[in-house]
Amino acid sequence: QITLRASGPALVKPTQTLTLTCTFSGFSLNTPGAGVNWIRQPPGKALEWLALLYWDDDKRYNPSLKSRLTITRDTSENQVVLTMTDMDPVDTATYYCQHRAGYWGQGTLVTVSS
Amino acid sequence: DIVLTQSPLSLSVTLGEPASISCRSSQSLVHRNGYNSLDWYLQKPGQSPQLLIYLVSNRASGVPDRFSGSGSGTDFTLTITRVEAEDVGVYFCMQSLQTPITFGPGTRLEIK
């Protein structure tokens, strides 16, 4: 059974860096074809894709946010980490991680406020 | 970027009646392997999205057979043959043919 869970701080201040962790089980990120997406959803708004990490360590970013995002893996811990720099109130959203095959984790709400 | 549009954006349906949602893409979603990279998700109130249909017409595990998907290229449809109370939520399509991965704006389904 594939499960994922996003975790991180509930509140960050403007200009700070956000670090989110996706902890997963039920699959290996070393398996060809595997990949983990980060996706966010501002309150009441549409979903926005942020980044994707493939099994071969190929990384893709949303061009509109690329300069602020870094996606990495911790294979030993079955985790994928996303960092987003220079946070702004417009980045307030529920952040999700997702397996490429369609499994979504429980999201984590991040509020950006001073 | 590939833009996905959905219609209608909201739907009010009587229990037991059918419902249909359209998703149109600004570009063909046919992969070089011949498959269309278009999935359908349902986000129930207060929950994470759940996969309903993958690669246009394949029901995900545990999804009732009243849900079906069809289409190819740029035009896709999600059909519910008989709406049940548990089907309430927001339905959205997602393309994964190329990055950035993009989503439709969502269609809110409510019971009349």
Q: Which of A49, A52, A104 sits opposite B50 (nearest CB)?
A: A104
In A, which residues are within 8 Å of B49 by CB distance? Answer: 47, 96, 104
Chain A interface, best mutation among B98, B101, B107, by max A CB count within 10 A: B101
Q: What angle do CA A19, A59, B59 make, to 5 degrees?
A: 95
Chain A residue closest in CA terms to B101: A49
User: pLDDT tens digits, chain B, 112 residues: what are they?
Assistant: 999 999 999 999 999 999 999 999 999 999 998 899 999 999 999 999 999 999 999 999 999 999 999 999 999 999 999 999 999 999 999 999 999 999 999 999 999 9
| pLDDT confidence band for A76 (50 / 70 / 90) | confident
- Residue A77: pLDDT band by 50, 70, 90 thresholds? confident
What is the structure's pLDDT at A22? 97
Cβ(A40)–Cβ(A48) under 8 Å? yes
Residue A102 in contact with residue A1, Cβ under 8 Å?
no
DSSP lists the bridge partners of residue B53 as B40, B59
Backbone angles phi, psi at A22, to 5 degrees: -105, 115
Nearest to A104 among B48, B99, B103 (CB): B48
